[in-house]
């Protein structure tokens, strides 16, 4: 059963059923992810010692439900937060009593007080896990957006430089009275263009390397294919430029 959800609301039947199916398939402590069409579960299955449970263990699972795409780095952050949450739970040797809040009538007054106190603790820790997850994922998302903006700025500035060089080349061709092949200004502009193209391709490689892809057959080019494709595009562009000045 679902002990508690935060923010407090009624968990839908579909999610509840899927969570139950996921948990009943687990028997070892681990962090794992289940993806569905509209959402994904980031789960951590674990056990804690218990004097009241059969087998002297409470079988538990903390799940964070995400309704958008997140990066592998954010997934790792959430896994780390879940591990810390479990460490906090295990630091309290009688925390298991909090899970028996619906069976209060079966216990004496001393146990009832422990149950109520630990139930409150568990709920506080769950809400704290939620807000830490929100804070850390937002922080990481902002960092990733900033990195993207910096990359976009580099591309934009490089394209502006290319545009200026192409304009210079066009003017030199129109105004040149002799052979354009020996025009030093044209040679300088073509050399500058080549450097800009190299810089853009280096940035592209770095960006692709930094991303943590789960490779799927036919989805991404292999490194060799990628290198060949880049060289091909560079040669095609340089050939166009050479044709312009020949």
| Residue carrying structure tokens 């999610």 | 15
pLDDT at 207: 46
CB 42 within 8 A of CB 63: yes
Nearest to 60, CA basis, from 91, 92, 30, 94: 30
Domain chopping of the chain, boundaries: 13-138, 143-244
pLDDT (tens place) for every residue of the chain, 246 residues total: 788 888 877 677 888 888 888 888 877 888 999 888 888 899 999 999 999 999 999 999 999 998 888 888 889 999 999 999 999 999 999 999 999 999 999 999 999 999 999 999 999 999 999 999 988 888 877 776 656 555 566 666 777 777 777 877 777 777 766 665 667 777 787 777 777 777 766 655 444 444 443 333 333 334 454 455 545 555 555 555 555 444
Q: What share of the chain is helix, strand, coil (3-state, %, to 5)?
A: 65, 10, 20
pLDDT at 154: 63
What's the whole-model pTM score? 0.58
pLDDT at 42: 92
pLDDT at 64: 92
Question: What are the φ and ψ backbone dihedral angles of 78, each rounded to 5 degrees?
Answer: -65, -40
CB 52 within 8 A of CB 69: no
| Residue carrying structure tokens 């210079």 | 168
Element (H, E) at 84: helix 72-90
Name the token pair of 120: 């409150």
DSSP tally for the chain: helices H, then strands E? 5, 3
pLDDT at 243: 54
Q: 161, exposed or middle or buried, with CB in 10 Å at 0-12, 13-18, 19+? A: middle
pLDDT at 180: 59
Q: 107, exposed or middle or buried, with CB in 10 Å at 0-12, 13-18, 19+? A: middle
pLDDT at 186: 72
């Amino acid at each position: 059963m679902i002990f508690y959800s935060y923010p407090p609301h009624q968990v839908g039947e579909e999610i509840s059923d899927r969570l139950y199916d996921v948990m009943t398939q687990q028997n070892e402590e681990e962090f794992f992810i289940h993806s569905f069409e509209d959402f994904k579960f980031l789960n951590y299955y674990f056990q804690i010692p218990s004097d009241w449970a059969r087998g002297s263990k409470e079988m538990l699972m903390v799940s964070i439900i995400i309704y958008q795409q997140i990066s592998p780095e954010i997934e790792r952050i959430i896994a780390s937060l879940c591990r810390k949450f479990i460490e906090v739970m295990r630091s309290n040797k009688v925390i298991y009593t909090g899970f028996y809040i619906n069976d209060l009538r079966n216990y004496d007054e001393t146990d009832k007080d422990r149950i109520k106190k630990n139930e409150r603790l568990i709920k506080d820790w769950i809400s704290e896990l939620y807000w830490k997850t929100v804070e850390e994922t937002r922080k990481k998302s902002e960092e990733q957006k900033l990195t993207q903006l910096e990359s976009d700025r580099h591309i934009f500035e490089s394209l502006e430089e290319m545009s200026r060089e192409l304009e210079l080349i066009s003017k030199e061709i129109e105004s040149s009275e002799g052979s354009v092949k020996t025009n030093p200004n044209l040679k300088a502009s073509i050399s500058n263009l080549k450097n800009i193209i190299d810089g853009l391709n280096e940035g592209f490689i770095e960006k692709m390397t930094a991303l943590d892809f789960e490779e799927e057959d036919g989805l991404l080019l292999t490194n060799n294919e990628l290198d060949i494709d880049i060289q091909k595009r560079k040669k095609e562009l340089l050939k166009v430029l050479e044709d312009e000045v020949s």
